[in-house]
């Protein structure tokens, strides 16, 4: 559920008309709803209500805007980070270090030092060489790093290949079948305190069965490791729960159904459970607001050319992702249209032959469910400035990332001496 609703024929976000934001900030612009963020945190937390003190670490990669992170920090969430940059953003937004977990296959020694300096809750290690490096870095600082190994359970998440992470051929985690050996080796590394097991098999999962299969493997490993004398105290079950994008498709499992499955599968595990939800918290809390530049005749359907492009919202061109596209002020007619951006690539296409509200040049459209992996994946291709972001709360709203002037983009480059004259 979200808080983007039609009031007197025009879309509002909470109590703010989308048109008012477009008029003041220009388009394209990402718009986020605090009420939706708050609701999603509540729903996810309630779903895990019967667990003892779970750590819910928001996957910062899904939306690292400082205002979004500060909202989630106030609601008590921790953070799952995958770079020194994300770590510093999370801390700057008020997320305490003891609620931060550091994932990712390529942590550098410098990033490890930074995280150790801040005293984060857990490093999720993804290989033995990484464990050796972290041990050395921690020892050199006179510390012991709290760690889990992320295991690769070889489970097919049944999602898009580019966002599947739990198959043996994927780069993530250590092989499940060799986990006991990897843990035994880690125990001998004096800079590590081996405290947990972690798993994350992919994103936008619309079926609980692969998650249940992976979690069952984690449970068996926790038991085997404790049997082997490891003091395993945490199990990080990752993120991955899908959200509805296309109203014509079956609704993905609810957080409540996910929570019921988690509570059933993990019953009696002697560990603190951790979660890394991203999309399910922020996905439906954001929309990309864009204006129609012009409508051009097409062979089968008209091309609706909008001022947002693949650099602003990459998901359709990268994963063939489906985002609902709604007129901000619908005229009450629908027809098939191709919605495209101005970038000079055929891949800069948001929808082909989409049955949608009829729109004309100058009208506003909203790309829904754009709060996760939207602005954070934006770039400046075709020398288009990064997309600004707005946060709404009730009848208040604020620009939480301004649109940079094109001059800033140009000034970012420099011309070497030998070309100067
Ligand atoms: N934990 C780890 C270790 C992850 O790699 C991810 C996402 C998450 C948690 C959060 O997953 P979520 O709950 O959001 O599904 N750009 C793609 C999604 C990439 C997901 C990467 N990892 C997209 O736009 O669909």
For 167-181, write each residue's pLDDT tens digit: 888 899 999 999 999
What angle is formed at CA 329 by the lines to CA 324 and CA 331, rounded to 5 degrees? Answer: 95
Q: What is the pLDDT of residues 247-301, one digit of tens each?
A: 899 999 999 999 999 999 999 999 999 999 999 999 999 999 999 999 999 999 9
Is 115's pLDDT higher than 90? yes
Q: What is the pLDDT of residues 120-132, one digit of tens each?
A: 999 999 999 999 9
Q: Is the CB of 202 under 6 A from ligand 1?
A: no
Q: Is the CB of 204 under 6 A from ligand 1?
A: yes
Q: What is the pLDDT of residues 291-329, one digit of tens each?
A: 999 999 999 999 999 999 999 999 999 999 999 999 999
Residue 240 C-alpha to ligand 1 middle, in angstroms?
Answer: 6
**Catalytic residue list:** 344
User: Ligand 1 pocket: which of 56, 276, 315, 319 to mutate (most atoms <8 Å of CB)?
Assistant: 276
Residue 203 C-alpha to ligand 1 middle, in angstroms?
Answer: 5
pLDDT at 158: 84
Q: What is the pLDDT of residues 351-379, one digit of tens each?
A: 999 999 999 999 999 999 999 999 999 99
pLDDT at 321: 97
Task: Give me the CATH code for the 4-31+283-411 domain, please.
Answer: 2.40.37.10
Delimiting residues of CATH 3.20.20.10 domain(s) in the chain = 34-280
Delimiting residues of CATH 2.40.37.10 domain(s) in the chain = 4-31+283-411
Q: Is the CB of 255 under 6 A from ligand 1?
A: no
Q: How far is CA 31 from the centre of its chain?
A: 16
pLDDT at 206: 96
Residue 239 C-alpha to ligand 1 middle, in angstroms?
Answer: 7
Instruction: Please report where in the chains the tokens 């890394």 appear, as a residue.
Output: 276
User: Ligand 1 pocket: which of 59, 206, 253 to mutate (most atoms <8 Å of CB)?
Assistant: 59
When pLDDT is cut at 50, 70 and 90, the band that residue 156 belongs to is: confident
- Segment 395-421 mean pLDDT: 95
Token output for 242: 């899908």
The third-level CATH classification (topology) of the domain covering 34-280 is TIM Barrel (3.20.20)
Is 157's pLDDT higher than 90? no
When pLDDT is cut at 50, 70 and 90, the band that residue 100 belongs to is: very high
Average pLDDT, the chain: 97
Residue 54 CA to residue 275 CA, distance in Å, equals 8
When pLDDT is cut at 50, 70 and 90, the band that residue 113 belongs to is: very high
Residue 193 C-alpha to ligand 1 middle, in angstroms?
Answer: 27
The answer to whether the predicted template modeling score (pTM) of the entire model surpasses 0.95 is yes
pLDDT at 166: 84
Q: What is the pLDDT of residues 70-83, one digit of tens each?
A: 999 999 999 999 99
- Residues 6+ positions from 330 with CB-CB distance below 8 Å: 6, 9, 357
Residue 78 CA to residue 283 CA, distance in Å, equals 18
pLDDT at 414: 95
């Amino acid at each position: 559920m979200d808080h983007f609703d039609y009031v007197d024929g025009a879309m509002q976000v909470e109590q703010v008309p989308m048109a008012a934001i477009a008029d003041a900030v220009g388009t394209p612009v990402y718009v986020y709803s605090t009420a939706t963020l708050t609701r999603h945190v509540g729903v996810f937390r309630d779903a895990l209500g019967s667990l003892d003190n779970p750590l819910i670490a928001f996957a910062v990669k899904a939306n690292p805007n400082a205002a979004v992170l500060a909202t989630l920090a106030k609601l008590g969430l921790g953070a799952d980070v995958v770079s020194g940059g994300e770590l510093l953003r999370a801390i700057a937004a008020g997320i305490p270090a003891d609620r931060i977990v550091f994932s990712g296959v390529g942590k550098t020694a410098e990033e490890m030092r930074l995280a150790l300096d801040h005293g984060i809750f857990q490093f999720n290690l993804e290989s033995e060489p990484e464990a050796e490096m972290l041990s050395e870095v921690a020892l050199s600082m006179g510390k012991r790093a709290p760690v889990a190994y992320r295991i690769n359970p070889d489970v097919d998440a049944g999602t898009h290949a580019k966002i599947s992470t739990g198959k043996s051929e994927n780069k993530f985690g250590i092989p499940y079948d060799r986990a006991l050996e990897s843990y035994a080796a880690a125990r001998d590394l004096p800079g590590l305190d081996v405290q947990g097991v972690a798993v994350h098999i992919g994103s936008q999962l619309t079926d609980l069965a692969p998650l249940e299969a992976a979690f069952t493997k984690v449970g068996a490993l926790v038991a085997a490791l404790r049997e082997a004398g490891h003091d395993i105290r945490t199990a990080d079950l990752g993120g991955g729960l899908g959200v509805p994008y296309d109203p014509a498709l079956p609704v993905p499992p609810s957080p409540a159904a996910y929570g019921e499955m988690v509570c059933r599968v993990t019953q009696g595990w002697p560990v603190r459970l951790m979660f890394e939800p991203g999309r399910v918290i922020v996905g439906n809390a954001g929309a990309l607001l864009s204006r129609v530049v012009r409508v051009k005749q097409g062979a089968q359907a008209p091309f609706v050319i909008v001022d947002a492009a693949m650099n602003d919202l990459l998901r359709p061109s990268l994963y063939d992702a489906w985002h609902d596209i709604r007129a901000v002020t619908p005229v009450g007619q629908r027809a098939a249209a191709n919605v495209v951006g101005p970038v000079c690539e055929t891949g800069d296409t948001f929808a082909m032959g989409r049955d949608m509200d009829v729109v004309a040049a100058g009208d506003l459209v909203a790309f829904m469910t754009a709060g996760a992996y939207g602005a954070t994946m934006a770039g400046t291709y075709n020398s288009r400035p990064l997309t600004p972001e707005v946060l709404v709360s009730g009848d208040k709203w604020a620009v939480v990332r301004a649109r940079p002037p094109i001059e800033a983009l140009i000034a970012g480059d420099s011309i070497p001496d030998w070309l100067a004259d």
